[in-house]
Amino acid sequence: MLPERIDNRIMPVTESGCWLWLGPLVAEGYGITFYRGKNRRVHRIVYQDRVGDLSDHQMLCHSCDVMCCCNPDHLYKGTSQSNVNDMISRGRHIIVRGERNGQAKLTASQVRAIRASSEHYKVLAARYGVHPMTIYKVRDRSRWQHV
């Protein structure tokens, strides 16, 4: 049985069948709450409560594509690979390249300068504040292929 403080934050939506979590969300859009001593994703809590049989390492996938949905009828067990395959088949997989990627440490102009330079990769790594392997991968075009 779900605690009342969790159950009271779930809103069923008749049109879609989703059960929307109205509490806090993580950056990816999943509901989260403190439960049994740690922060947990709400869809996992509800699934275990209503269906059971879910280990900490098993992945739950959403058939509705609504990350804050916790309706167990919209969730199914999957693997990381099946989740990626589902994401691609539904057109939710977006590749962000270059400077638009929030984790990029280099710009396109820096990549062109690195490729044009004859300086040692360790010197360039120090100059641009990246790991020497990053310079190597830029030069061999296994990174920043689109530039």
> Which strand (E) or helix (H) includes residue 19?
strand 19-21
Beta bridge partners of 35: 38
Q: What is the mean pLDDT of each run of 10 residues along the chain (147 residues)?
A: 93 95 93 95 95 88 92 93 87 80 90 96 95 95 92
Q: Where are the alpha helices (DSSP H) in the chain?
A: 4-7, 42-50, 80-89, 108-116, 121-128, 132-139
- The model carries a pTM of 0.63
Residue 146 lies in a domain: no
Range of the domain at 68: 4-89
Query: Which 3 state secondary structure label does DSSP give 12?
Result: strand
Residue 147 lies in a domain: no
Residue reference for tokens 């010197």: 123
- Please tell me the predicted confidence (pLDDT) of residue 28: 86
d(CA 26, CA 78): 21
Please check whether residues 66 and 103 belong to one and the same domain: no
Residue 144 lies in a domain: no
How many structural domains are present in the chain? Answer: 2
